[in-house]
Amino acid sequence: MSSLTSQKCVACQADAPKVTDDELVEFIKEIPDWEPITEDSILKLRRLFNFDDYAQAVQFSNQVADLAEEEDHHPAILLEWGKVQVTWWTHKILGLHKNDFIAAAKTDRLLS
């Protein structure tokens, strides 16, 4: 799928660099269904996934949770009937790190 899926999230420190504007443009090309959003003055990645029913949405949410544990990087997951909203950002730096793009790409891969 993308080169991001072949990478692993790395432990992030509070002084880790946020992605630059140029990096954001390049990374988003690999995950075009994700939207960069600003919430509470923090840049994040968000995507809404649609499903046919609640059970499929729950199953996907659990897969995202398993991925988060594997990568030791944890998103906000909003589960509703037939849809799951996933939001990635790096809490320690209050913004986007390369880890967020890796995790978003791997989230997309869960659907294939």
pLDDT digits (tens, 9 = 90+) for 57-110: 999 999 999 999 999 999 999 999 999 999 999 999 999 999 999 999 999 999
Q: Which domains does the chain have, with CATH numbers?
A: 18-109 (3.30.1360.20)
Residues 6+ away with beta carbon under 8 Å from 62: none
Q: Where are the beta strands (DSSP E) in the chain?
A: 35-39, 42-50, 76-80, 83-88
Q: How far apart are CA 95 and CA 18, in angstroms?
A: 6
pLDDT tens for 11-59 read 778 888 899 999 999 999 999 999 999 999 999 999 999 999 999 999 9
Residue 1 has a pLDDT of 41
Q: Tokens standing for 5? A: 């899926």
Residues 6+ away with beta carbon under 8 Å from 75: 64, 68, 86, 87, 88, 89, 103, 107
The answer to whether 86 and 107 are in contact (CB under 8 A) is: yes
Q: How far apart are CA 20 and CA 60, in angstroms?
A: 31
Residue 97 has a pLDDT of 95
Residue 2 has a pLDDT of 52
pTM of structure: 0.92
More confident site: 107 or 8: 107
